[in-house]
Amino acid sequence: MRRTLLAASLSALLCSSFAAQAADRVLSIGGSVTEIIYALGAGDRLIARDTTSTYPEAANDLPNVGYIRALSPEGVLSVDPDLIISEAGAGPMETLEVLTRAEIPFVEVPDGFDGAGILAKVAAVGTALELEEEAAVLAEDLSTGLDAVAAKTASLPESERKRVLFILSTRGGRIMASGTHTAADGIIRMAGGINALSDFEGYKLMTDEAVSRAAPEVILMMDRGGDHGAPDAEFLALPAIVTTPAAKTKSVVRMNGLYLLGFGPRTADAAMDLARALYEGL
């Protein structure tokens, strides 16, 4: 309730601010939002970004105000934005309250892990930047790409769809994996796969027995460092993984995290790339 009331207050502030003039000092929070702003041709209006905003390459030249869920008021205020556009879930709440008191317009774009969710993000960012026509053109292009992916995967027989396990972390040998209602679940379904874990929502630490019962045929991971950087042979030998069909066929797919899970302008390409990794000859 507290976050809902704050969001309503921020929205009211935004409307009154835009009545005066369009923002030209924009802070983008969230990788997909930043990608959309650049795709709309408004990258020159960005004055800073958060840690998750690493694409396109030009974004990395902008000042970094910190991680989306751990923003400090000082970091945000130091770049003097006249508009903040953010993915859902920015925080902490205390920082958002400071921004409200500072009367900085704040737009939180809707979240969603399917094609409709991407198009809603584009529309929200386009409205915030007063670029509705550009957003409509981008949405049409994205719809074409998403439809192409759907047409490709629709031809897959149900009996041939791969069971895919997305692993977020293997720290300490413990598997943190994705259930439903996550970006990982969304991209697996978009690529024609079946989420091997469908009996819970969000991310969860799994027992070795639970991973074995899930019987994934493919392991999907982000291609980042740390525990994700272990060679496939070492990873597939983990007790939780070694008994799975994926381990027997050495089926591991690694993709850039923002590309795979961002649900922004590149998602149709990411879904197609994943589909081709899952299904030879698609």
- Residue 21: which pLDDT band, with cuts at 50, 70 and 90? low
**Cα distances (angstroms) measured from residue 267 to each of 170, 188, 273:** 25, 12, 10
| 208-225 average pLDDT score | 92
> Is residue 146 within 8 Å of 167, Cβ to Cβ?
no
Better-scored residue on pLDDT, 227 or 117: 117
Dist. CA 118–CA 132, nearest whole Å: 15
- Residue 233: which pLDDT band, with cuts at 50, 70 and 90? confident
* DSSP letters spanning 34-87: HHHHHHTT-GGGEEEE-TT---SGGGGGS-B---TTS--HHHHHTT--SEEEE-
What is the bridge-based pairing of β-strands 106-108 and 163-169? unpaired
Q: Where are the domains of the chain?
A: 2-140, 158-278
Dist. CA 131–CA 24, nearest whole Å: 12
Cis peptide before 81 (omega within 30 of 0): no
Name the 3-class secondary structure at 259.
helix
The dihedrals phi and psi of 173, each to the nearest 5 degrees, come to 80, 0
Q: Is 158-278 the same fold as 2-140?
A: yes
Name the 3-class secondary structure at 16.
helix
* Residues in contact with 20: Cβ distance below 8 Å, sequence separation at least 6, in sequence order: none
Dist. CA 183–CA 145, nearest whole Å: 18
pLDDT > 50? residue 239: yes
pLDDT in the model for residue 14: 44
| 72-79 average pLDDT score | 96
**Token pair of 106 as six digits:** 């704040």
E-assigned strands of the chain?
26-29, 46-49, 83-86, 106-108, 163-169, 175-178, 194-195, 203-206, 218-222, 252-255
Domain 158-278 belongs in CATH node 3.40.50.1980: yes
Tens of pLDDT, residue by residue over 156-201, are 999 999 999 999 998 888 899 999 999 999 999 999 999 999 999 9
Q: Which CATH number fits domain 2-140: 3.30.300.30, 3.40.50.1980, 3.30.1130.10, 3.30.1020.10?
A: 3.40.50.1980
Better-scored residue on pLDDT, 64 or 282: 64
| 105-126 average pLDDT score | 96
Strand-pair partners of 177: 167, 204
